Amino acid sequence: MTLGIDLETSPPTFINPDRNVGRQTKLEARQFKVGSFEQRGRAGINPVQDLLTVTFKNRTKETIDTLTSFFQEREGTTSFSLTLPSSSGGEETIQVVCIDFSQSFVTEENGYSCTANLRKINIPTFNGVVT
Concatenating the DSSP letter of every residue in 59-119 gives: E-HHHHHHHHHHHHHHTTTS-EEEEEE-TTSSEEEEEEEEEEEEEE--SSTT-EEEEEEEE
Q: What is the pLDDT of residues 24-64, one digit of tens each?
A: 888 777 888 888 888 877 776 777 788 889 888 888 888 88
Say which CATH topology domain 4-27+42-123 has: Alpha-Beta Plaits (3.30.70)
Report the pLDDT averaged over residues 89-109. Answer: 84
As a whole number of angstroms, the distance between CA 8 and CA 80 comes to: 8
pTM here is: 0.72
Average pLDDT over residues 86-111: 83
Tell me the mean pLDDT in the region 106-117: 82
For the chain, the straight-line distance linking the first and the last C-alpha, in angstroms and rounded, comes to: 23
Domain ranges of the chain: 4-27+42-123
**CA 33 remoteness from chain centre:** 35
Report the pLDDT averaged over residues 79-84. 86
Is pLDDT at 74 greater than 60 in this prediction? Answer: yes
Q: Rounded distance, CA 3 to CA 9, Å?
A: 15
